[in-house]
Amino acid sequence: MNELVIDVHGLNKSFGDKHVVRDLTLAVRRGEIYGFLGPNGSGKTTSIRMLCGLLTPDSGSGTCLGHDIIGETAAIKREVGYMTQRFSLWEDLTIRENLDFVARMYGMRDRKRVVAEAIEALGLADRREQLAGELSGGWKQRLALAACLLHDPRLLLLDEPTAGVDPQARRDFWGEIYRLAARGISVLVSTHYMDEAERCHRLAYLSDGRLLATGTAREVVAQQNLAAWSISGPELVPVVDRLRGRPGVEHITPFGTTLHVTGHDAAALERTIAGLALGPEYRWQRIDAGLEDVFIGLMDGARNGRPQ
């Protein structure tokens, strides 16, 4: 689906003296799951809110769902569902009462039918009379998503939606997101989880308000041209000490029982590894850099002021 639901150019936003988002240009297609990644304070949430008319940029222009993000924000809000990171519904109301209350706020006709359909669609029927405050994190997540979908939005904003829920609940949640995208609903999601990032159709990585990389997961990895090796062996801490600061070595990251050693100068990195003279109990292997390797590099480069 090539229809653009978001098309923005040169967005900037400051709060006081802090320049939170810098010259953001981005396009999102209909039915696309678009992931926003970056460290805390990188501008992810502010960017998402500006893209959808929920926050007015200081400069820049663009459209969301065919509406101007500055002059037609009320029209945008009617077609957007927003799920905050923290559970924001009423814990002393039941699932059904919460959804009915949200439907009232939207002024929806035939509320009972709409609420009943949302309860069935999100698998909440057996718990409809349970207080929201008694729900686990995964069920609260389902309830929040049901509330977002009541008014049949064309675009969903999900701000770290799976923080604090167990792996099965995360998997179930992403199954729902894929079904919504298949219906043509576009999804903007911020996350810190690399496995979730790889589930997105395309990604944007932000640091200090700047867009450092964008594309599919495979494209983002390829753009960084990062050489990577893994090493396994009995005592890896001394190996870290011997590698640190050597030519070609930019990052050394533990991955389970191995270390990933990465750098942009592949030849220098290979020479360093060849000259390390470790014992036969250590095994080096050339590997493809992964998304986490790339994002660690991007974060460190931005922190130290290196060009990306």
Q: What is the pLDDT of residue 192?
A: 82
Could you give the CA distance from residue 130 to residue 134 in angstroms, rounded to a whole number? 7
* Contacting residues for 221 by C-beta, under 8 A, at least 6 apart: 288, 289, 290, 291, 294
Indicate the fold that domain 227-288 takes in CATH: Alpha-Beta Plaits (3.30.70)
Domain positions in the chain are: 4-220, 227-288
Mean pLDDT for 239-267 is 92
Residue-wise pLDDT for 257-296, tens only, equals 899 999 999 999 999 999 988 888 999 999 999 898 888 8
Classify the C-alpha dihedral 131-136-137-142 as positive or negative.
Answer: negative
What residue type is assigned to position 205 of the chain? Y
Q: Does residue 302 register a pLDDT over 80?
A: no
Q: What is the pLDDT of residue 201?
A: 96
Distance from the first to the final alpha carbon of the chain: 31
Residue-wise pLDDT for 12-35, tens only, equals 999 999 999 999 999 999 999 999
Q: What is the mean pLDDT of the chain?
A: 90
172 close to 122: Cβ distance less than 8 angstroms: no
| Predicted TM-score (pTM) of this structure | 0.86
Q: What is the pLDDT of residue 308?
A: 46
147 close to 175: Cβ distance less than 8 angstroms: no
Q: Does residue 169 register a pLDDT over 90?
A: no
Partners of 202 in beta bridges? 34
pLDDT band of 226, cuts 50, 70, 90: very high
| Residue found by looking up tokens 């308000």 in the block | 209
Query: In the CATH scheme, what is the code of domain 4-220?
Result: 3.40.50.300
